[in-house]
A and B are shown apart, each in its own frame.
Chain A
Amino acid sequence: SNWLPFLVWFQFSNSHMFINDVFTSCGQWLEDQTKKLHKDMKKSTEADLAMSKAAVKISADLLSNPLCEQDQAFLDSMNALDTAMKRMDSFNQEKVNQIQKTVIDPLKKYSGVFPSLNMAVKRREQALQDYKRLQSKVEKYEEKEKTGPVMVKLHQAREELRPVRDDFEAKNKQLLDEMPKFYHSRIDYFQPSFEALIRAQVVYFTEMYKIFNDLTDQIDQAGLTDEQRERETEAKLSELRALSIVADD
């Protein structure tokens, strides 16, 4: 079926009041969503970077501990782990840089447009109010008996009205022109960002697989399920607990 995105119906008539509502609520919604996404992306990226750095610290601290030197095989394993973590961190940094340029910055720029648009909507509404006010003034004089002073006042009122009406029409036309286009433009605007997000992650996880697949072959016992690992760990802890020096008397 033919899904049309976000259907907005507003009456196609002469009344302008509701147009303000459309602009305001539609714009507000889009503004809220882009701001939220921007915030979430930023926080997510920060957490991502922090995680990677924490992983590097795990291996680096161990490597600098004299424990490592006690056994050559253990030292080799620690070195391999440390190398792997550092490489992953550098891939992660690259991924984050790409995301910053193609996703986070564009999101921010997009949000930055809303103050201008919101101001434009406000100014249009103000212009509308001025227009209505002066229009009603003109009508007031048009209804009166056509005496000389009245005609003069009428002429003046009309003169005053004209530029204000023109101003409103210009603002109105521009918004009616730009707002739907702006709203629709989000698709083309954000499409590359999403593709970039996906691609960056594909590259990162592909590297991660290669690096950790090799490392696991090197430093991990092959063919262990999680249950087996837990059992081995428990066995070792039991061995330790059985020692007299461990019991705290």
Chain B
Amino acid sequence: MEVPRRLPPSSFTLTLPKPAASAPASFVPEKDPEEEENLREEDEAGEETFISTEEAEPGASVVERSNSNLSSRDSFSEESGGPMSEERLAPEADEETGRKCEEEERAAAKERAAQRQLMAIEELVQSERNYLRLLQLSTVTIRGNLLKLQPPLLNLNRMFLHVDEVMDASSRLLSLLDQKRVRPGDPLFLQTLCESFLSLSSDIEAAYKEYLANYNHITVVENSYKQREGLWNEIVRVIKASAPEVNATSLTFFLVMPVQRIARYPLLLQTIQKHTDPAHPAYALLEHTAHTSIALNCGINEYKRFREVADKYKKTETLTIKDKINRLNSHSIAKKTARLSQQIKHETGITPKLVDEEFDALQDFFYVLEHGILELLENVETYLHHLQGFLACRTEEFDLDMDGEKAPICYKEITTALRQWILPTFEKRMRTLIHRPLCALRDLLVGPRNLIRKRLDKLLDYELIEAKSNLSYEEHAVANTYRTINTLLLNELPQFNGVALQMIWSMLGTFSCLHRDLASDMEQLFQSFAQQLPHSSLSPGAFWEWAESMALEGARRLETLCRSVEDTLNAPVVQPLSPSSQRRLKQLMDKHGSGKIWQAAAAVVSSRDLDLNLAKGELVAVISEMDTRGDRRRWLVDAGGRRGYAPSSKLIRYHQPAEDPPPSPHLTLPDGVTGIRRHSYSPGSRPLTSQPCFQVMAAYDFAARGSHEVSLRAGERVRVLEPHDKRGNPEWSLVEARGGQRGYVPSNYLTLMPLGVGVGPPGSYLPH
């Protein structure tokens, strides 16, 4: 490839084409009259100004790029060849072009975001249409055909009980969008979409609530069909015949879609929001809609739980636990703590003279209870702290531009659901049902604790005066105080201890229930993904084997890439050989052949016997790639008569300029591409341009509007003849399409794909 001698129009824009655009948008900033004058002056001087950077920094090359944009407005001759001028930076233009480049960048970024927003909006609408279509297919066509089966299927209509309301909600949403007669590209569309969704949100919630609460009935019925193999095969046959283009092998394939659809809305809406400028008029509305979609899911799940509880209560009335908890009343506690008090007395070392066994038992129980409550509260708070930490790492927010692939999308949906409503609901319930009551309980400990201490103080006083027969008025008061407190505690501590323990027990039951509900919510979510992932049918052992082997394979490929890149990096520039080197080369080649010539990349100093000293760049022939002990890091080489060992790490294969280098195992050259031609210099020869290793294709359909343009189909390969129009404008390119027709097309309708890599549409993600 030749370094350009003329300034070509190079306009790098990371942009997505606007499908409806009739002409590509102009990304070139307005020219500053001052700069224009500078350039004109330079042109008049007869020299091309080639504004370049001093160093290869991206920032600097932005300047370069923009300046080249400006210059491209001028017409210049299209001949290639001619002297390449000196490069210099236009002095005054520097700062302004820097600013303009930033503006250009921002405009391009905005353009990108707009395109992705559009794609996200269209995804939502399209998938909704598809979803409705498939549901209709199942309820009308498939059900109709199944009803014809003889003997008639039991409970078939039970499976379709609530799907009508769901379909109704969906079709009303779509008809609201269609009624307004706005297209997704229209700026009003987003507002219409949000308003429609919000207006239907209570209907959507009502419809999906019932559907999801009853979904397990659907799986129960289907499982009953699966029990009978002949019947099930018949059903599958009908399904496949009714919907041949859909790869469905069960009824739940269709009937699980509402379960997934309602959980998809948050992610779909958030994706739109991600690419929407906060300054957009409908942004606040969109945000509200996204929040509503999450609230919908929370409400639906809560209702499902409510219904489950009601059903369960009807089924099994296990009151035994309730009875057991209630038995922890005052009397049983007091009696059981006698043992306990004995142990604790030793530890606490409190041995009041007046030993009141019953009181001691109660008191010790209280202290143990207090400790238990405080410890439990601390542990619960630690748990909640880590839960919040988990919620904060939003692993679903990555963007590897893999939104067309099933597995990443499924992962995003699952994680969005987990982090945005399933776990938050779990946390909220934990706080309401466990943490808050526990805090309240802890606060109530203060009273009894203080009173117990007070009683002890009074007891000590009491002991002093107890034996006396004649007590003074004050002493009577002291005695009474002690007795009052003592009696009070004796009466009420048992109840306190018992009720507190009951509360703890209930809380733990709740803790278990919350976990079960969490797991149940997740399981429901997973149901909809089970059939979509390619390897979900593998057994656990087989799956992990596959996954781990893929990880190893990936690592290996990365390593290969790194090594190949580093090899090329480290290859020294081949300098013309000195006469003595040329003689050495000839000598070695004559003796060993050209394939064995290596070069010292750095000076080699011998460190042991039989090692050689080599100068940097010295040529050697490799005799053996290991030493006598099999060490592959020491190679036996011939340095023009001297023989000895040299470290392999310092040797690089020597490529002669006159030959093709040996084919690299890392670079896979596509057909028709010649290797690098490092040819010898001969006067007047021009270096060959390397063949491209990528292909250009049309990203979108384009309809030609005149004879100077050519129509394109999306996915069609084209050959770019000139990446600019006759006036040098880079926004149009001259291409040759399939069929040989030539004409101009918008440059931003074209895309680059590596040769030899599949360029089909992204893996067909289950649409609905």
Contact = CB atoms under 8 A, between A and B. Distances in A.
B547 A221 contact: no
A163 B574 contact: yes
A136 B84 contact: yes
A199 B543 contact: yes
Nearest to A53: B386
B516 A70 contact: no
Contact of B499 (A33, A34, A240): A240
Interface string B404-447: 11011011001000000000000001001100010011001011
B380 to A, nearest CB: 7
B219 interface: no
Interface size class of A (residues with CB under 8 A): 35 or more
Among B12, B692, B694, B696, the one with the most A-chain Cβ atoms within 10 Å of its Cβ is B12
Contacts of B355: none
B762 A5 contact: yes
B368 interface: yes
B289 to A, nearest CB: 23
A8 B752 contact: yes
Nearest to A43: B393
B56 A125 contact: yes
B722 to A, nearest CB: 8
Contacts of A147: none
B681 A159 contact: yes
A106 B551 contact: yes
Contact of A177 (B15, B16, B667): B667
A158 to B, nearest CB: 5
Given A40-B394, A65-B372, A22 B12 contact: yes
B395 interface: yes
Residue from B401, B496, B520 with most neighbouring chain A CB atoms (10 Å):
B401
Interface string A134-164: 0110011011000000000000001110111
Contact of B752 (A180, A186, A244): A180
Dominant secondary structure of chain A at its interface with chain B? helix
B676 A61 contact: no
A4 B699 contact: yes
Given A16-B1, A132-B52, A195-B547, A67 B369 contact: yes
Interface in A159-216: 159-160, 162-167, 169-174, 176-178, 180-182, 184-199, 201-203, 205-206, 208-209, 212-213, 215-216
A169 B554 contact: no
Contacts of B513: 212, 216, 220
Interface in B1-24: 1-5, 8-17
B566 A116 contact: yes
B3 A131 contact: yes
B365 A205 contact: no
Contacts of B703: none
A41 B395 contact: yes
Interface string B52-77: 10011010011011001000000000
A146 to B, nearest CB: 12
B316 interface: yes
B715 A2 contact: yes
A67 B368 contact: yes
Interface string B500-529: 111111101111110110111011001001
Interface in A1-59: 1-18, 20-22, 24-26, 30, 33-34, 36-37, 40-41, 43-44, 46-48, 50-51, 54-55, 57-59
Contacts of B39: none
Contact of B404 (A5, A109, A248): A5
Contacts of B9: 11, 13
B400 to A, nearest CB: 5
A192 B752 contact: no
A73 B328 CA distance: 10
Contacts of A232: 506
B241 interface: no
B565 interface: yes
Contacts of A198: 407, 410-411, 414, 526, 529, 533
Interface stretch (B167-175, B599-607, B743-751): B743-751
A70 B337 contact: yes
A210 B62 CA distance: 59
- Most chain B beta carbons < 10 A, residue from A17, A22, A47, A203: A17
A119 B68 CA distance: 26
Given A48-B390, A178-B564, A194-B407, A203 B540 contact: yes
Contacts of A171: 568-569
B46 interface: no
Given A12-B752, A162-B681, A1 B126 contact: yes
User: 5 smallest A-B Cβ distances: which pairs?
Assistant: A223-B313, A125-B56, A220-B509, A209-B519, A180-B754
A120 B441 contact: no
A108 to B, nearest CB: 10
B14 A25 contact: yes
Contact of B119 (A3, A67, A140, A206): A3
A219 B512 contact: yes
Nearest to A229: B433
B632 interface: no
A223 B501 contact: no
B452 to A, nearest CB: 9
B657 A66 contact: no
Contact of B554 (A189, A197, A205, A248): A189
B444 A237 contact: yes
A230 B503 CA distance: 11
A222 B376 contact: no
Given A14-B689, A243-B447, 10 more contacts: A1-B126, A5-B404, A13-B8, A21-B12, A71-B328, A199-B543, A205-B519, A217-B318, A232-B506, A233-B437
A11 B519 contact: no
Contact of A21 (B61, B495, B523, B680): B61
Interface stretch (B148-156, B279-287, B485-493): B485-493
Interface string B340-361: 1001000000000000000000
A96 interface: no
A74 B501 contact: yes
Nearest to B682: A158
Nearest to A120: B565
Nearest to B402: A187
Contact of B61 (A17, A61, A223): A17
B429 to A, nearest CB: 7
Nearest to A202: B526
Given A10-B752, A44-B393, A1 B573 contact: no
Contact of B561 (A48, A170, A182): A182
Contact of A116 (B501, B503, B562, B573): B562
Nearest to B527: A202
Interface stretch (B29-37, B304-312, B586-594, B610-618): B304-312
Contact of A113 (B383, B558, B687): B558
A240 to B, nearest CB: 5
A246 B551 contact: no
B557 interface: yes
Given A33-B400, A54-B379, A246-B448, A172 B1 contact: yes
Contacts of B13: 9
12 contacts: A2-B714, A8-B14, A17-B65, A47-B387, A51-B390, A81-B508, A98-B547, A171-B569, A174-B667, A220-B510, A236-B499, A243-B492
Contacts of B87: 132, 136
Contacts of B306: 225
B83 to A, nearest CB: 5
B333 interface: yes
